[in-house]
Structure 1
Amino acid sequence: MESKRQQKFAGVLQQDLAAIFQREGMSFLPNTLVTITKVRVTPDLAIARVFLSFFNTANTQQSLQTVKSHASEIRYKLGARIKDQVRVIPQLEFFVDDTNEYVERMDKIFDKISKEDRQKDEE
C-alpha cells in the first residue's frame, strides 16, 4: 500500500513525464503515441517505475528498448522540471503496461464462451 506522499509524488511524475513525452518524445519515437498509464514510487522516492502504453507501433518491445536507451536524457529533463520540489531525482525504470492487451484477450475468451453457450442452447 502506497502512502499519500508516494501517491502524490507519483502523480507529479506522471504529469511531468507525460509533458516530456508529448513535447520531445517524437524525437526518439516518431509516429508513436506514448501514454504513461501508471507510476509507482518506492517508499524512499528514489526509484520510479513507469508503465507505458504504446499506440501506432508494430513492436512494443522495440519501442520500450528505445525509451530505456533514452532514460538518462528523460531523467535529466524530468530533473529540470522538478528540481525545486524534490531532493533527489528518482531513477526511472520503464515497463510496458499490457492491460489493454489483457482486456482484449479476455474479451475474446468471453465471446468464445458465449458463442459456445448459444450453440448448445440451440441444439
Structure 2
Amino acid sequence: MLQKELSEIFQREVREVVMGTMVTVTNVRISPDMGQAKVYLSIFPVEPKAEVFQSVKEHQVKIRHLLAQRVGKQLRVIPELAFYLDDSLDYLENIDRLLKQ
C-alpha cells in the first residue's frame, strides 16, 4: 500500500521536487514496529539523478505529510521515510551494454 501511494505522490503531487524526471518507487521495506520505511527509488533519465535524489531527501517531510493524508485512516503510525537509490536498472543496462560489445 505504501509503495502504491508513494508512487502516486511522486507522479502527481511533487512534480517540482522531481524536476520533470520519472521517479519510480521500486521497493518499500518497513520495520516490524512500523516506525521506519526504507523507500527505494529509481530515477530516469540518469543525468540529473543526484540532483533529483537530493531534492527528494530535502522534501522528505512534505512527502511524509502527503502520505499521511492518504493513508492516515488505514495506518495507526505513519513511518519515517528513508530514501535510497535503487541502481539495479543501471546495473542491468550496463551488463546489457557490455554483452552487446
Query: What TM-score results when the alignment is normalised by the length of structure 2?
Result: 0.90
- How far has the Cα of 1:57 moved from its partner? 5.0
- How far has the Cα of 1:88 moved from its partner? 1.0
Q: Which residue of the other structure, out of 50, 65, 70, is the alignment partner of 2:59?
A: 70
User: Structure 2 vs 1, CA of residues 23 and 66 (structure 1 numbering), >3 Å: closer, same or farther?
Assistant: same
- Structure with more helix by fraction: 1
1:82 maps onto 2:77 in alignment: no
- Structure with more strand by fraction: 2
Residue in structure 2 matched with residue 102 of structure 1 by the alignment? 91
What is the aligned-residue RMSD (CA, Å)? 1.4
Q: Matched residues in 1 for 2:41 and 2:85: separation?
A: 5
RCO comparison, higher one (Cα < 8 Å, 6+): 2
Query: What TM-score results when the alignment is normalised by the length of structure 1?
Result: 0.75
- One-letter code aligned to 2:20: N
1:26 maps onto 2:15 in alignment: yes
Divergent runs of 4+, >6 A: none
- How far has the Cα of 1:56 moved from its partner? 2.9
Cα deviation 1:49-107 (Å, max 9, x = unaligned): 11111113512122111000000000001001111111111000101110111112222
Residue in structure 2 matched with residue 7 of structure 1 by the alignment? none
What is the aligned residue count?
101
Residue in structure 2 matched with residue 45 of structure 1 by the alignment? 34
Could you tell me which runs of 5 or more consecutive residues in structure 1 were left unpaired when the two chains were aligned: 1-11, 113-123
- How far has the Cα of 1:29 moved from its partner? 2.1
